[in-house]
Homo-oligomer: A and B are copies of this chain.
Amino acid sequence: MAEKGNISRRQFVASAISVAAASSLPARSAFAKVIADAALPQTGGPLIDVPGWKDQGIENLAKSPHAKLRDIPVRAVTISGGFWGPRREINVTRSIPTMHDLLEANGRMNNFRRLVGKSTAAQSGPVYSDSDVYKWTEAVGFVLQSGDRPELRASADKLINEVVAVQEPDGYLNTYYQDDRKSLRMLLQTQTTGHELYCIGHMLQGAIAYYRATGDRRLLDAGIRFVNDFLIPNYGPAPKKPIVSGHPEIEMGLIELYRITGDKRQLDLAGYILRGDKRIELPERRTIYMFSGTPFTARTKMEGHAVRAMYACCGATDYYMETGDPTYLQTLNTLWNDTTTTKMYVTGGVGSRSDGEAFGDAYELPNFRAYGESCAAIGNMMWNWRMLAVTGDAKFTDVIERALYNGINSGMSLDGTLYCYRNPLAFDPSTGDKIRNTWYDTTCCPPNLERTFGSLPGYFYSTSADGIYVHLYDNSELNWHLENGVGLKVAQKTNYPWDGGVEITVTPAQASEFTFYLRIPGWADHAQVAVNAKGVLGATPGEYLPIRRRWSPGDVIQLKVEVVPQVIEANPRVADDTGRVAIQRGPLIYCLEEIDQPSGISLSDVAVNPGRQPAEQFQTEFRSDLLGGTVVLHHTGAVYERGDSEKALYSRYGRQAKTRKVPLTFIPYYAWANRQASSMQVWNLLLQA
């Protein structure tokens, strides 16, 4: 691509940065807007901002013909206190700032600076290091959608300037393959393992989130230029050069970009990638691992690298929402069934094998050796969010909730500064494994968690042609409008998930007929619903209860589900859970940490005794002093006594070791590993009758 304009792009941006850096914040924002709107020699061209950037949700489905539901903007929902308020506040005040400092300290930003002579440090980190910077930017973008945070805004502004400064005239941007590794760019080997397009996918997501928070187009325009100037003219079906998605992510990015540019070439490129290009021949184990490189619609099961597979499914669902190609929906349903009936942990985590960070075979769900990468659980939530938008089916929301409260929430420590990469369902610190760390050289999970918590309000509601859906419950206020334009406020008062009562005040701008789709959680046994104290029939766990009426300001919905301890068993085909049970209460999976049990007891010897009325065997106690305030469960279980003669590895059935009663204390799984190192397990032996 030839340069446009007389001065080099690098020179131009470098001077722009120095102007920006010298200016005060509001001035800098104004400057940024000038850049975004007019000043740069290259821009991404006009955007189809329907709705305007402020009103776009996590995804902008306003014009997606095959989406049944539409996202609301993140800013439309305010969560106050409750379960998620403190987590989100810590995310903003601790997690995102400390991650910024760690990215800086570990040279991830110097990777950009060195290319414009502002750092002499060597390239730092793995090939995908740019993506961590973009994911962090996305987290900030979501946070800023909920309200200004000047320091974060300033950090992100500076970072964006440094990113766009290194974009080459032809649109290329990837700090690992600029400078001395330029010759490796887009080689087949680089495409399969080098993460160039993966990084750009994250750049697009970060840029879009930031744009939706600020209207600032700088990073977005850089992304558009990569796509429109570098990628589309050169790569795609013959006679262009072939490409393959070494780590799916670009598909989602391209389609979300298409949703705001209206440039169908971007959608088509995503479709081309999802189909795979026959000119690129890769070993089967590679296309399995990548979950890419062969036609997406030919896939029949989840396999290979779990995060890759999840992101590919996200992109394919996005593609379906825009094209309506039924073979995609068919494949997506097949893959979803495969995941949820054979390959998902009870925590919503996925990817059971460390080897290849991969899905295992059906029912291969080890507990100690579970991988359950935080990113994969997030991918699971993202995919189900998209499937929910397609269908309005609450079965997807149940998976979102399961992953969010458990397998994702476990990924970040309660103080917001330590992260799990793996999220096993049993743990023994004597193996030497340190499960929570401030930093990983492959630091994909921490900013992924940060962007997820940053975007959380956007997952609470969706609109449909005939009304509104509520998906998640917490103390919160929605301030938005129906698709017909009628303003709508919805206030939730609740102690969810600790108890199951939710009072929802519905306040349309004027009395108006529409349907309020009330989610009845799938884990509930039954639910009671009333509107203005008058019972509504038909509430079914695992479904949305459609309440169609003429809603007047101040109408109150009361939802009541029983939140009691439940004893869960796995399908007998899950070899690792046979003879074991897990404890769940509401959406929360519980676990034992050895630290909470009488001393001298090994968790592996502990058995649960549910009896005939399991709920009565567990006593609930809210402990405000513990783990940020949490409900613990007390249970009289049993411990196997192991005298010498009982230590046999194999013995005759029925010559069971003796047991004695033991008081056990369960905590929610998300809160594990927040105190001293301790054994943990989710699936506990079931006491044999």
Interface positions of A (Cβ within 8 A of B):
340-342, 344, 346, 355, 361, 363-364, 366-369, 431, 566-576, 578-582, 604-605, 607, 610, 612, 614, 640, 647-654, 657, 685-686, 689
Contacts and interface: CB of A to CB of B under 8 A. Distances in A.
Among A340, A341, A578, A582, find the residue whose CB has the most chain B CB atoms closer than 10 A: A578
Contact of A640 (B572, B574, B604): B572
Nearest to A689: B689
A65 to B, nearest CB: 31
Closest 4 CB pairs of A and B: A579-B579, A578-B579, A567-B653, A569-B653
Given A567-B653, A580-B579, A341 B648 contact: yes
Contacts of A610: 653-654
24 contacts: A340-B649, A341-B648, A341-B649, A342-B649, A346-B650, A363-B604, A366-B366, A367-B575, A368-B575, A567-B654, A568-B652, A569-B652, A569-B653, A570-B649, A571-B649, A572-B579, A572-B640, A573-B605, A575-B576, A578-B579, A578-B685, A579-B579, A579-B580, A610-B653
Contacts of A569: 650-653
Nearest to A583: B653
A414 to B, nearest CB: 26
A211 B325 CA distance: 75
Among A369, A574, A689, find the residue whose CB has the most chain B CB atoms closer than 10 A: A369
Contacts of A361: 368, 431
Nearest to A683: B575
A577 to B, nearest CB: 8
Contact of A649 (B366, B566, B574, B604): B574
A578 B581 contact: no
Among A573, A574, A685, find the residue whose CB has the most chain B CB atoms closer than 10 A: A573
Nearest to A361: B431
Contacts of A342: 649
Contacts of A575: 366-368, 576, 580
A17 to B, nearest CB: 46
Given A364-B369, A572-B604, 10 more contacts: A344-B649, A367-B575, A368-B575, A566-B653, A567-B653, A569-B650, A572-B685, A575-B576, A578-B580, A582-B650
Nearest to A681: B575
B568 A651 contact: yes
Contacts of A581: 653
Contacts of A340: 649
A653 B582 CA distance: 9
Contacts of A580: 575, 578-579
A568 B342 CA distance: 28
Contact of A650 (B364, B571, B604, B640): B571
B650 A573 contact: no
A43 to B, nearest CB: 49
Contacts of A570: 649-650
Contact of A654 (B367, B573, B614, B647): B614
A504 B650 CA distance: 30
A364 B580 CA distance: 16
A568 B656 CA distance: 11
Nearest to A607: B572
A364 B604 CA distance: 12
A685 B363 CA distance: 15
Contacts of A686: 579, 653
A607 B579 CA distance: 13
Contacts of A657: 572
Nearest to A647: B341
A574 B342 CA distance: 22
Contact of A571 (B355, B431, B648, B654): B648
